[in-house]
Amino acid sequence: MCDEISDDARLKHEDPINYYLKHFHDQEIMGELRWSDPYLYFQISRIHYIQELKDKTLTSKCPDCGDEIIQGEWGEEYCNSCGLVTRSTYDYVGGFKIYLPYGLK
Ligand SMILES: [Zn+2]
């Protein structure tokens, strides 16, 4: 627990961009940055936005065949061609754990 805190402090010092990206959803940390360094805050927001866009582009293609990923009526996402389920709200089907390339929703 103690190590985790000092690692975080070190990351903040050595690599502030990654530190703030890691804590992007922490309102306290980001609120503080917004006041102390608005320029860095703006930069982090932009990087975060670009990363999310990339993530969306990535998860809309099948990792196996590259075809389009579509969403099923139960919220699961699967490949239009090969049927590979890439994302779902559960990773168990009929008592078996299934591998989801893009993880849980
Ligand atoms: Zn596919």
Query: Are 48 and 67 in a shared domain?
Result: no
- Whether residue 33 contacts residue 44, with contact meaning beta carbons closer than 8 Å, is answered with yes
**Domain limits for position 104:** 62-105
Query: Are 75 and 103 in a shared domain?
Result: yes
Q: What is the pTM (predicted TM-score) of this model?
A: 0.57
- Rounded distance between C-alpha atoms, residue 90 and residue 33, angstroms: 36
Q: How many CB atoms lie within 10 A of CB 20?
A: 23
Instruction: Provide the 3-class DSSP secondary structure of residue 31.
Output: helix
> What are the tens digits of pLDDT across the range 65-83?
999 999 988 888 999 999 9
Query: Are 72 and 96 in a shared domain?
Result: yes
Query: Are 7 and 55 in a shared domain?
Result: yes
- Rounded distance between C-alpha atoms, residue 91 and residue 103, angstroms: 8
Ligand 1 (ion): residues with CB under 5 Å are: 62, 64-65, 67, 79, 81-82, 84
Query: Are 67 and 49 in a shared domain?
Result: no
CA of 94 from ligand 1 middle (Å) equals 22
Q: What is the dihedral of CA 29, 30, 33, 37, to 10 degrees?
A: 160
Query: Are 9 and 24 in a shared domain?
Result: yes
Query: Are 11 and 46 in a shared domain?
Result: yes
* Structural domain count of the chain: 2
> What are the tens digits of pLDDT across the range 51-67?
888 887 778 899 899 99
CA of 55 from ligand 1 middle (Å) equals 17
